[in-house]
Amino acid sequence: MRAIIGVLLAANLVAAVIAFKPFGGSAEDLRRQQAALSSQLAQAQKQLVYSKQLVEKIQKARSEEDKFVNGYFTDTRTTGAQILTELTKTAKEAGIKPGTWTFSLDQLEGSDTLQELTTSMGFEGSYANFTKFVNLLDKSPNFIIIENLQATAPQQQGGQALNVILKIDTFVRGTV
């Protein structure tokens, strides 16, 4: 009798476990699990789309950077002559007289392939001609940054002409 009652008790426990908590989970548990997995899948797909867009933007930025550097930065061998030629040509076009010049080539911090060329050059002319000169430099096809412009009026000419020292920066591809 005790054995039969023990077997029936064990069978009732097994039946209760199966009835209240099936091994695969209840239908409601399975629906919740499916909804959670669907949500995770949607987020993973959204992250994948975002990552693909980010990769495309990075590739576009790299190609545009190469195009910018190749279009606006000059080569180490020709930079000094090219800048001097452009400054002299622009000065003649603006009606001012170019003077002495100096160059200084410095390594650009954070880059192994780019350098900064600083050019200082003196000019002489009227104020109107200098404004035309600066305007022409601003429209230059080269990437030129006017770092400093120092103007003085000589005493012996009655203030009609200005002496200007212009300091400009350009960027150079290649290493020294």
Burial classification of residue 59, based on how many CB atoms lie within 10 Å of its CB (0-12 exposed, 13-18 middle, 19 or more buried):
exposed
Q: 3-16: b or e for each residue (b if 16 or more CB lie within 10 Å)?
A: eeeeeeeeeeeeee
Tell me the pTM. 0.60
Residues 121 and 39 in one domain: no
The enclosing domain of 158 has a CATH number of 3.30.70.60
- 49 in the same domain as 133: no
The type of residue at 18 is I
Task: Using a pLDDT cut of 90, give the percent of the chain over it.
Answer: 40
Per the structure, the complete domain to which residue 17 belongs is given by 2-67
20 and 94 both lie in a single domain: no
Regarding whether 80 and 167 lie in a shared domain, the answer is yes
| Structure confidence by residue, pLDDT tens digits, 6-19 | 999 999 988 887 77
Q: Is the pLDDT of residue 176 over 50?
A: no
* Least-confidence region, from 24-33, 85-94, 116-125: 24-33
Looking at the fold, whether 22 and 107 belong to one and the same domain comes out as no
Same domain, 92 and 109: yes
Considering the domain architecture, whether residues 92 and 163 belong to the same structural domain is answered as: yes
For the chain, the domain total comes to 2
Instruction: Give the residue-averaged pLDDT of 86-112.
Output: 88
